[in-house]
């Protein structure tokens, strides 16, 4: 039987630890781990979430306020409220206003933005299917990736440097 992994040229043979460390989470474990990461931030938080709900923000807003007091910059990239149904549109508009009042920078991404990710201090990357600012009952998955390289790669890939300095 032919086994590619036995050859020295195989790129992942004994090298997986060199790329990055990651851990998978679902909707039941994500927020506890994510909030712990938020509280450990020192400089910057970037969250891309297409939807924002009042229910989810009731839990996250006090944390955001505490982070702003610590001079942590927070950027929210979200879908234009006009691209949402009436209930979600109203909630997004209200929460965007609240964000701006507490010092969170909001970047509206037109064109039915649907990415779900977070970059924390450009050292931790969260990516997956979970809408960070609105998730409530759906089954989801998120991967936490440690490392400046994957975080920087995502930052550059999304051209976030055009909006975040």
CB 129 within 8 A of CB 117: no
Nearest Cα residue to 126 out of 40, 52, 34: 34
Give the CATH fold of the 23-162 domain: Endonuclease; Chain A (3.30.870)
Which three-class secondary structure state does DSSP give residue 59?
A: helix
Model pTM greater than 0.85? yes
Longest distance between any two alpha carbons in the chain, whole Å:
64
Structure confidence at residue 140 as a pLDDT band (50, 70, 90): very high
CA dihedral defined by 162, 123, 24, 95, rounded to 10 degrees? -50
Over residues 105-133, the pLDDT tens digits come to 999 998 888 999 999 999 999 999 999 99
**Both tokens of residue 78?**
């979200």
CB 142 within 8 A of CB 31: no
Nearest Cα residue to 50 out of 80, 75, 74, 87: 80
Which whole number is the average pLDDT over 133-162? 96
Helix pair 86-102, 54-69: axis angle to 10 deg: 10
Instruction: Identify each DSSP E strand in 31-103 by its residue range.
Output: 44-48, 73-79
Greater confidence (85 vs 44) lies with 44
Over residues 64-99, the pLDDT tens digits come to 999 999 999 999 999 999 898 888 999 999 999 999
Which whole number is the average pLDDT over 138-150? 96
């Amino acid at each position: 039987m032919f086994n590619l992994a036995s050859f020295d040229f195989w790129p992942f043979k004994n090298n997986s630890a060199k790329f990055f460390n990651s851990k998978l989470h679902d909707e039941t474990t994500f927020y506890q781990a994510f909030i712990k990461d938020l509280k450990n931030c020192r400089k910057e938080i970037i969250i891309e979430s297409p939807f924002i709900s009042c229910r989810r923000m009731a839990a996250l807003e006090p944390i955001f306020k505490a982070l702003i007091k610590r001079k942590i910059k927070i950027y929210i990239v979200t879908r234009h409220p006009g691209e949402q149904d009436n209930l979600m549109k109203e909630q997004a508009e209200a929460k965007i206003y609240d964000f701006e009042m507490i010092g969170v920078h909001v970047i509206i991404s037109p064109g039915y933005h649907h990415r779900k990710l977070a970059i924390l201090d450009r050292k931790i990357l969260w990516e997956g299917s979970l809408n960070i600012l609105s998730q409530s009952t759906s089954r989801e998955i998120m991967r936490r990736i440690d490392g400046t390289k994957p975080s920087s790669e995502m930052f550059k890939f999304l051209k976030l440097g055009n909006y975040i300095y």
